Every structure is written in C-alpha cells, then in structure tokens.
Structure 1
Amino acid sequence: MKLFISLSLVSLLAPLAVLAQSTDGLQSTSCVSSSSSSDSTDLYKTKSEVKYAKLFSIEYHNNYKVVNNLSTKDKYVLYQCGSDKPSINDASAFIPIPVSKAATWATTAAIFVEALGVQNDIQNLGTAPSVVSSCLQKLLQDVIEPFNEGNSTQTDQQEQNNTVVFNMPGGEDDNTSNTVYSVEYLESSALGRSEWVKFFAAFFNAEERANKLFENIDSNYQCFLNKADKEYNDIRPVVAWTSYAAPTEYNNNTAYWQISFADYKYDLVRDAGARMLNTTGKQSTMFSSSQAFLDALEEADILIDESFVSYSYNDLLKNYGISDKTSATYSWLEAGRVYRPDRLQSTAGGLDWFEAPVAFADALLQDLISVAHPKFSKEGYSPIWFRNLAKNETVTTVTAAGCADMYAQRQDPAGTCSSIDFQSANPSDSVYSGVDANETQDLIYDISKSEVINDDDSASHTHGGSDSSSSPSGSLSIRDGTTIIGAAVMALSLVAAAAL
C-alpha cells in the first residue's frame, strides 16, 4: 500500500531533505542539455579504480560508463541523462544517471547506498522486516515504500517506477529490464566485498564519496592487520565457522552439520591474528552425523556458529549432539569461546551480519580480533556483531528510534585503529587455555574417513550471505547421488534469513 505523507510531516522532514540534496562528493548532478557537446566533454573527472574486488569493473567514457558484473557476465551501460543512449549491442541494461529513483531487494545493497549518503533516492525496499539499519527503518516508516511481496502485479508496477532495481542473481522478481545484479557476497576477500561501494557509486555519480570512504576502510583495515600480526604472531587460536541444519523437506528431512572455509573468512581469521580450521573440502564440508562433525572440531579453540536459527547456548549444545558439556574435551567448549554473529537484530529478527559487515571490512576485522583476542584493546572493547553464547550474552534490537538523521551518510562503525592501544597477548592468560603457542599455520583436518555428505560450498546467499562461492548449476550435490534443487535451497535460505 502506498505511503502518503501528511503536510505536517513534509514540513518536519524539509530541513533533512535539503541536507540530503547536498552535492558534496557528487559529480554531474544535472542532465546534459546537448548530447553532441557531452560526447566530447569528460563528465566524470573523478573515477573509481578497483583494487581488491574481482567480480566487477568500471570503464569510463566521456558521457557514459560501462559497469561489468564479471560473475554474471552482465554489462550495464550508465549514460548521463539528456545524452543519447550509447550504441552497445551486448548491454544487459541501459540506465540513465545519476539515478534518482532506485529500489533494492537486497538489504546489503541498501547499506551501500546508505554508506554513500544517497538513500533519499531509494523508493522501494524488499525484505523490509529484515532491515537492521535504524535510519533505513525510519525511512521505511516515513518515506520508502516496501515492496508488496504478496502482490506480484503491484510489485511489477513498483519496479517499473524505478530507474534501477538492485537484486542478486536468483533473487525474487529479477527479470525486469532495469534489474542490476550485485554479487559482493561472492568476493573472495573482505576488502573486495566492501569495495562494491564503488559499484553502487557509479549509478549515482558518487565516485568521490566512494573513493574516500573505501580509502579510509582500507587504511584502517591494514592498520588492524599489522597490529594484530605484530602482537599475536606467536599465539594464534584456531577458529572454526560452523552451522547446523535441522531436518526439513529441503534436505530430505535429514539433519547435517557444516564447517565453512570461505575465502573471505580465511583472510579475516589470519588478519585477526588467528588460524583457520580448514578441512580437505574446497569451501565447506557437510557431515551426516554430529559425532563426525565434533571429531573435526577437536582442535578448534573458537567456534563461530552461523546456523539459520536463533537459539541459546543450551540449544546449540543439543543441536551439536553434546549431552554433557562437563565431560566434553573440546577446547572451545571448556574455555566457553562459542560465538554467534547475531548481536545486532531488527525487531523481526533480521541480522545486521548480512548488512553492515559486508560494507565495512575494517569494523568486521576489529570485531574478529576481539573474538580471537578479547583483551586486545587496553581501553576495552565490546564486539559489534559477535555475542558469546557461553556467557549468555544477549542480542541488541535496533529500532528506528536510534536514527538521528535518516538522510545522513552512514558512518563506518569501526574505531580508528591508529588511536587504539593494542595489548600484547599473554599466553598464560586463561582466555588462551588450550591454545597451542608458536603455531602459525592453518590447521588441516583430514575428512577422508569421516561421515561426510559433501565437500562443496554450495550454500545459498541471502542479502549478502555468509560464504563466498556457490554451485554453478544452482543445485546442491550429495555424494550418494541425491540432489537438492537449488531453487528450493534458495527459498529456504531467504525465508530463514528473513525470520532470524
């Protein structure tokens, strides 16, 4: 249903709207009046160069840009409004810029738009209950119209009323002529994922803002990396990223357990001064029994659970098949180092884990350092996204009330690394109980004799999902020859993520 804003509300929002229309950091904000003159004039003096991201590229011409999604092989031609549409035969879409009417099905894309400070151009937003950003929630209350996901006719009309609709491959209603795919969640590095801010900036002529933001993220990330390497090279705990899937119609009513080894997680763990628990699988390994799964976790010091359920520490123990934690011999269990990246949630249970950490790699690294080395900062630090289940830490619900200015450019939540006084690790500290000192190499667990279902990372991705690769065929292959249809897995993941 369309939102109507009262005159009193318009008056209230007027000062904010003026602020939102600031052109600082934007270029070519007006349409050209003469196509012929624009052909010979470089309208985009500020350009973005891709440094880490592997899945997109940008080519600049005088009055248009070509943005390539190298994963989906899509080519988006962005031409300055008022100029003639370029003659490019293999374009996936022609988008006049700067975009002033945008929609997004993926909440991660909305965070990038907010980070650029052009969220006033968003007209429609999908999976609205999952949005954790307080200012996007405020916009959804007062300005942005959620996609009517229960009415395909109205949804189609909403999409047609926009210049561009950001979506992910396989996402809901992704076949419109103005659909633009983003796959930042498939990047192999955390910085590569965050660099997609430049991809989105190209649509709004916001390259200057994107370049400045990413330069700060990059330099801050490198500072955290260097400090962690200096202080923790001799005491690197082993981190395992795990999950549990309950029996459903999408997995033949058979539970499975999983260890993930996505590329970007590998980089994060090493950069945080820790070691990755790797398996002989390519990206993740799925186990058909909890005991085989637990056997693979014997050498882990820290567990990060990403199951698509919201539960307590006791629920995790039950799902992992641990009936008596006092008799268990797992380091991560004895030390109580069991985490979930679900500290920040929307009222409906949407996780910020799928939103802000993708855009702000430096803040994500800072958080992971605090998981690996809880006393890293002499000033003290409370993680943004990770909560310790063993300590019964609670979640924080984010609401629109926390938004001071819904049109302000989203700020990087990371601390300034150069001003943080890092504390050296003390191997005798109880937090490192069971951690092997002077071990710097990743730990390889041989799964050849385990009860393994498969060793392919084919987990579906939901608005910036957690792993970095997927099955090319869109299906989940099981070693015994059984196949789970990819569409069903995607549908399950979308529903689960929205319900979290």
Structure 2
Amino acid sequence: MKLLSLSSLGIAAVSVYAASTNTTVSTAGLQSTACVSSSDNSNLYTTVSEVKHAQLFSIDYHNTYKIVNNLSTNSTYVLYQCGSTKPSINNASAFIEIPVKDSAAWSTSAAVFIETLGVQNTLRNLGTAPSMVSACLQALLQNIIDPFNESNSTATDEQEDANDVVFNMPGGEDTNTTNTVYSVEYLESSALGRAEWVKFFAAFFNAEERANKLFGAIESNYNCYAAKADQEYNDIRPVIAWTSYAAPTEYNNNTAYWQISYADYKYVIVRDAGARMLNTTGPQATIFNTAQSFLDALEDVDILIDESFVSYDYNTLLKNYGITDPSKLDYSWLTTSRVFRPDRIQSTSGGLGWFEEPIIFADALLEDLIGVAHPKFVQDGYTPIWFRNLAKNETVVVLTASNCTDIYAQLPDSAQQCSSLDFQSANPSDADYSGVEVNQTQDLIYDLSDSEVINGSDNEGGSHTDSSTHSSSSDAPASLFAQSKASAVAMVAALAALLFMAN
C-alpha cells in the first residue's frame, strides 16, 4: 500500500489543516474569561448552550456556576467561575474551576473537540500521542504539549494532578478522579448527537458562543445534505454493510470471528445519505463464527465498509473473509469493486483520522458517505475524505505536523457547503448501481435465525427508536480505548468485548 503526503494526493477538502501563519490565541467568542470576587452573584453566562440532539449529557446554568451531567455514567460535574464561592452540590463527581486553564485528554476525540473550539492552548498532556492525526495537535506535541508518561503510573498521576481537568473515557485507569471528566460522545445514537458534544466541552472553557455557532453550521449543512439526498436518491438506495474480521488471538480463545455492525448512528446516517442498511431479524445477531455464514449475510449487499482493526490490502481482506475466487460470487459489492475502509487519513504511526473529525463534523461525514453511496452526486465528482476504496487500491494520506500552519486556530469544518452543490440524480443504468434494487427504501432484512451466530454483544448504546428491527449498538471505538490510560491487556480485552467497529 503506497503512502502519500497530503499535498501529493490533491484532495482539496483535507487541506483545511492549513489556515494561516498566525499563532496568536483568539479570545473572540469566549465569555467570562476573568475571575470574579467571591461576593459576585451576577449572571456571568449570558450565552448558554441548549442540547437538541445529544441524549447523553445535559447542562444547567446558574449565575456563577454550571452543572454538567453525563447521563450515561451518572456523573455530575460542577463548573464554577474562578474566584466565586464554590457551590454546595451533593454527590458531585468533580468540582472544576472555569474557564479551565490547564487541560489534558486521554482520547483523540476529546483532544480534537478542544481543538475545534480553539482552546488547545490549554492542553498540557495527551494520551497515546503517536495515534494523533490532527496536524496541529501533532505540531503542539512536538514543542508544547507533553504526552502522558504511560510507562510510569506515578509520573502519569503527577501529570494528571497538575491539570484543572482531565478528559477521559469510562474504563480508564485514573487513580485521581477529582479532576477527571468522562465523555461518551461515541455512545450517541445519531451523528448530530455525537457532534453536539462540542457543547459539553465548551462549557468548561466558557466557549458556548463558539460551540453554538459551530454546531449550528454543522446542523444546517447536515440537514441540507440529508434533504437533497432524500430528493435525488429516494428510488435508488444501495445497501451498505459495516463489517469487520477478528483474527484468532489469546483474547478470543484463538477463534476467529466476523461481525456486521448495527450502531444506531450508522442507521441514521446511512439513511440520510440516500442508502439502506443491512438489517437482521435475529436479536442482536451480529457476530459470526464461520466465514460462510458471514458471507451468506452479505449476498445482497451493494457496498461493504470494512472496519477490521488491522491495516491491509484488498487481497488480505478477501482471504480474511474466506473468499478464494471472487469471480465465483455474484455479489454486487464484489462485482462493482465497492469495498471501502475508513482509513484514508492517517498519522505516520497508523492512527486513523476516522476517530477525530468525523465525530465532530457530522455534515462532512454525511457528505463522505453520500460520496460512497452515490459517487457522482456532484457534477465534478467527489473524492471521499475518510473512506478509501480498498478494491481499487486507493492511497492513504499521511498527515504530519508540517501540514499545520496555525497551531491555535479553530479546526475548520472540511465539509463543502451543501447549498452550493448540484446533486446528480441516481441513474439505474449507471454501472455504479449495477445490481442495486430500485424503488426500495426500507432496510434490507436478512434472517439470521439459521446462521452460525455467536452472540450480539454489539449493544453498548441506546436503542434505535424507529420501526426497524435491529440490535442497538454504540459502536464504541476501540482505538479510543487504546488511547485511554489502559494496560495492553485491558486494551485488547476491551477490543474483544466491543468488537471494534469504528466510530
């Protein structure tokens, strides 16, 4: 697999990492940046964030403090203005003075939320630094931010204690939880719900104005894409399956397995992209113990998105899927070479950009998926940012610190403005739609009752609320767990339990 630099690939959408040569820190869009006196009880937070799509956090505003609730972990974080009297709140998980001056993040997604808000000047420590794909966070890691010393627990504890807040994921091994804040954006049931966690992080930096503006633009652009896709592709909706393979290891009893992911946010975004999701009638029946039963379920799939927790070429995928002669299988995803992986954007160490920007920029993610499902959806064609066609041996883009020219700029949205695009209607005679059933709008139902299914453990998240039958799933990203303060054994155990399916 050939690796290319960002500039040599020529994908304009990804060049958003380059902003300007300015490295000053802007305070525009931040409120109450100064400390107050202990007697001050005036309303400091005139700009507030309302939660519309996210279901797993809430924010309550008071004159000099905020109460942020993680509804998934039942954690309550009391954020009070520096200098003000510390509120008396029972059963609070942590009390954090705001605006936060020194912060740390164990997961790459948390770090990129912070960068998107333009408050990365507060970052002091990051976990699993080599996995970071963001060019400007890589640049900060070279000169300003220190990686967590993961080989020395005492040193790590000291680093954590030196920060006002440490953003982590549930399951991390923090010994000091007085300043630990858990985020679970990956558990949300919609792409917009995941993106709205920018408001959660903004509360710690008094950056509500920035978060509201940012999310408002994402939401508007997302809705435009969804509306246009529904109009142009309502009659031709290819079936998409999100799949993965796990090789035999000591952590899965040396037994290989195959999986089809049914994460709720994928259901929503696949439909919003003008496509259909492969569905099953079995309760949480997603994991197969033979390649043949797995392939049987994929017979009528048009597009395959492989999320195996390995990096490999197309021939290796075929081998792992038990396919010795593709010409003998009349599967649409094989005959039309529509096999993708969300690994186009990487760091030099193989960290995936898939776990960073797509979580925040739901509109860019939707645009990318439309480009996968309907490759001629704009007049000039579209090259997906994160999805790489493995069957066509498309190249990987490697981001480095050299791709950043403004380390303190807000990370911009890589999505195009939907309102300025002319979508091309789906044409049944187009080779890209070979085998796609027309006038089909519902999910493809596949009965797994007779298949060799192990279990349905892909069910960490909230339930899907429409009429379709499928197992609910969070699709908690294993790479994010790898980017938390967990031992190698615990990390792999988490991977085996969650059956890595991206985020």
TM-score, scaled relative to structure 2 = 0.88
Q: For residue 89 of structure 1, report the CA deviation from its aligned partner.
A: 1.3
Moved over 6 A (4+): 491-498
Residues 80-159 of structure 1 correspond to what in structure 2 (within 5 A)? 80-159=81-160
Q: For residue 455 of structure 1, report the CA deviation from its aligned partner.
A: 2.0
* 2:438 is the alignment partner of 1:434: no
Residues 142-221 of structure 1 correspond to what in structure 2 (within 5 A)? 142-173=143-174, 175-221=176-222
* 2:15 matched residue in structure 1: none
Q: Secondary structure at the match of 1:67?
A: strand
Check conservation: 1:105, 1:172, Cα contact below 8 A. Answer: no
Q: Are the structure 2 counterparts of residues 292 and 494 from structure 1 closer, same or farther at C-alpha, using a change threshold of 3 Å?
A: closer
Residues 35-434 of structure 1 correspond to what in structure 2 (within 5 A)? 35-37=38-40, 39=41, 41-173=42-174, 175-281=176-282, 285-434=286-435
User: C-alpha separation between the residues in 1 aligned to 2:33 and 2:500?
Assistant: 40
Unaligned runs of 5+ in 2: 1-20, 462-471, 477-488
User: C-alpha separation between the residues in 2 aligned to 1:52 and 1:112?
Assistant: 17
User: C-alpha separation between the residues in 2 aligned to 1:357 and 1:279?
Assistant: 26
Check conservation: 1:78, 1:94, Cα contact below 8 A. Answer: yes
Provide Cα deviations, 1:74-121, integer angstroms capped at 9, x if missing partner. Answer: 000000000111000110000000001000001100110000000010
User: C-alpha separation between the residues in 1 aligned to 2:237 and 2:498?
Assistant: 35
User: C-alpha separation between the residues in 2 aligned to 1:317 and 1:431?
Assistant: 21
Check conservation: 2:244, 2:501, Cα contact below 8 A. Answer: no
Match of 2:34 among 25, 30, 33: 30
Match of 1:468 among 462, 467, 474: 474
Q: Secondary structure at the match of 1:453?
A: coil
Check conservation: 1:258, 1:284, Cα contact below 8 A. Answer: no
Q: Secondary structure at the match of 1:454?
A: coil
Q: For residue 469 of structure 1, report the CA deviation from its aligned partner.
A: 5.7
Q: Secondary structure at the match of 1:123?
A: strand
Check conservation: 2:345, 2:399, Cα contact below 8 A. Answer: yes
Provide Cα deviations, 1:312-368, integer angstroms capped at 9, x if missing partner. Answer: 000000000000011111111011110000000000000011111001000000000
Provide Cα deviations, 1:349-392, integer angstroms capped at 9, x if missing partner. Answer: 00011111001000000000000000001022110000001100
User: C-alpha separation between the residues in 1 aligned to 2:416 and 2:207?
Assistant: 24
* 2:17 matched residue in structure 1: none
User: C-alpha separation between the residues in 1 aligned to 2:285 and 2:62?
Assistant: 42
* 1:463 matched residue in structure 2: none
Q: For residue 125 of structure 1, report the CA deviation from its aligned partner.
A: 0.3
Root mean square deviation, CA, Å: 2.1
Code of the residue aligned with 1:25 in structure 2: it is G
User: C-alpha separation between the residues in 2 aligned to 1:175 and 1:343?
Assistant: 37
Q: For residue 489 of structure 1, report the CA deviation from its aligned partner.
A: 2.1
Moved more, 173-182 or 194-203: 173-182
Check conservation: 1:117, 1:408, Cα contact below 8 A. Answer: yes
User: C-alpha separation between the residues in 1 aligned to 2:327 and 2:110?
Assistant: 44
Moved more, 173-182 or 154-163: 173-182
Q: For residue 497 of structure 1, report the CA deviation from its aligned partner.
A: 11
Higher RCO (C-alpha 8 Å, min separation 6): 2
Q: For residue 171 of structure 1, report the CA deviation from its aligned partner.
A: 2.1
User: C-alpha separation between the residues in 2 aligned to 1:71 and 1:282?
Assistant: 23
Q: For residue 467 of structure 1, report the CA deviation from its aligned partner.
A: 5.5
Check conservation: 2:243, 2:501, Cα contact below 8 A. Answer: no
Unaligned runs of 5+ in 1: 1-14, 461-465, 471-484
Code of the residue aligned with 1:269 in structure 2: it is V
Q: For residue 284 of structure 1, report the CA deviation from its aligned partner.
A: 5.8
Check conservation: 2:475, 2:498, Cα contact below 8 A. Answer: no
Q: Secondary structure at the match of 2:454?
A: strand
Q: For residue 283 of structure 1, report the CA deviation from its aligned partner.
A: 5.3
Code of the residue aligned with 1:89 in structure 2: it is N
Code of the residue aligned with 2:38 in structure 1: it is S
* 1:474 matched residue in structure 2: none
Check conservation: 1:240, 1:277, Cα contact below 8 A. Answer: yes
Q: Secondary structure at the match of 1:86?
A: coil
Check conservation: 2:459, 2:474, Cα contact below 8 A. Answer: no
* 1:490 matched residue in structure 2: 494
User: C-alpha separation between the residues in 1 aligned to 2:233 and 2:175?
Assistant: 45
